[in-house]
Amino acid sequence: MAEYKGVMVYGELLEGKISSLTTELLGCGRRLADELKEDLLCILVGDKLDEAPKKAIAFGADKVYTAEDPLLKEYQTDSYVTAMEKAVKDISPRVLLFGQTSVGRDLAPSLAFRLGTSLSMDCIELSIDPGTKLLQQTRPVYGGNARGTFTSETFPQMATVRKKAMSPLEPDESRKGEITPIKVELDPAKVKTKVLETVKEEVAGVKLEDAQAIVAGGRGIGSPDGFKQLEELAKALKGAVGASRPPCDNKWVPDTMQIGLTGKIVTPELYVAVGVSGASQHLAGCSGAKNIVAINKDPEANIFREARFGVVGDWKQVLPAFSEKVKELLAG
């Protein structure tokens, strides 16, 4: 039986550079590897990896494995799963981490199935059990109302990790590490899908996922015009506007603004929920916010159970005064 050793991070690339979530995974992986007294490994898959392997070392990796092939130019399930299966079987890491991104959500389950191991998705905390050395994988359960911690006895121990749940290390360009190319044989005939076009999401201002302050509107906002008032507050906070599902379903705002179980997961410092009832499916996307402030006319609304601060009232009356005070405080 293979000896499983090391903590491996799947390094996701964005426009040729390692993503911020990958740097967070490397920060977390470094801590786990140190606890295990084993190496932190990073695997990078793509067409031309350029400076990415060196960056992974600067962010904490001891060894970087690279799989380069023209068939790996864009993410595509068949070619990426094949390349990763070969690499993971050759290297036999103890732990294998992915980001909870659209790539991670597709690649990690397919790979876990091929490797005959289990996987915990959307983890927010990872640690090593000192006795068994197994990975303890903590993730929200019951739509974000509770947390569950899981361990598995199959290897590699696989998890996907939510954005901003972990902290990256300060990059150190002088760090030394090993870069090892791995050969993957890919058969173009087995690649069943083709990327025809990549459409970039147009965002004016701060991206919802990156915003440190989010003003989110719910059904209680009542119209697209109402959202314009939320924009004003978001602008003052240098943040972004989000929404619960009904405003997106009603086409008051684009679907890309939806936060929740079937929308985006956000973890800002400040989340102002206006006219949002606090359904578990919505909280699944925002319960990682450091501070939730709720404005709702119903004192019994569930959002008040999650909120650190709450105002009971009609948002049309509360918001102008709230926004003015925020502007005043930020100016002072």
Nearer to ligand FAD, 2 or 321 (CB): 321
Distance in Å, CB of 285 to ligand FAD, minimum:
6
Nearer to ligand FAD, 27 or 285 (CB): 285
- DSSP labels for 124-174? SEEEE-TTT-PEEEEEEEGGGTEEEEE--SSSSEEEEE-TTSS-PPPP-TT
Q: Which residues contact 55 (CB under 8 A, 6 or more apart)?
A: 17, 18, 171
Cα–Cα dist 22/44, whole Å: 10
If one asks whether residue 258 binds ligand FAD (CB under 6 A), the answer comes out as: yes
Binding mask 263-302 for ligand FAD (x = CB under 6 A): x-----------xxx-x-xx--x---------xxxx--x-
94: left (phi over 0), alpha (psi -120 to 50) or beta: alpha
Cα–Cα dist 332/329, whole Å: 5
- Per CB under 6 A, which region of 74-82, 163-171, 257-265, 321-329 contacts ligand FAD? 257-265
If one asks whether residue 53 binds ligand FAD (CB under 6 A), the answer comes out as: no
Of residues 219, 231, 250, 327, which one binds ligand FAD by CB under 6 A? 219
How big is the site for ligand FAD, counted in residues (CB under 6 A)? 26
Q: Which residues contact 46 (CB under 8 A, 6 or more apart)?
A: 13, 16, 52, 67, 68, 72, 73
Distance in Å, CB of 208 to ligand FAD, minimum:
13
Of residues 151, 180, 262, 291, which one binds ligand FAD by CB under 6 A? 262
Of residues 34, 51, 178, 314, which one binds ligand FAD by CB under 6 A? 314
If one asks whether residue 315 binds ligand FAD (CB under 6 A), the answer comes out as: yes
Q: Tell me the residue number closest to ligand FAD, measured at CB.
A: 260
Distance in Å, CB of 137 to ligand FAD, minimum:
23
- Per CB under 6 A, which region of 65-73, 87-95, 196-204, 312-320 contacts ligand FAD? 312-320
Please give the distance of CA 76 from its chain centroid, rounded to a whole number.
Answer: 19
Burial of 84 (0-12, 13-18, 19+ CB in 10 A): buried
If one asks whether residue 245 binds ligand FAD (CB under 6 A), the answer comes out as: yes
DSSP state for residue 259 in the 8-state scheme: B
Give the Cα-Cα-Cα angle 196, 200, 205 (nearest 5 degrees). Answer: 175
Instruction: State the residues that interact with ligand FAD by CB under 6 A.
Output: 218-220, 244-246, 258, 260-263, 275-277, 279, 281-282, 285, 295-298, 301, 314-316
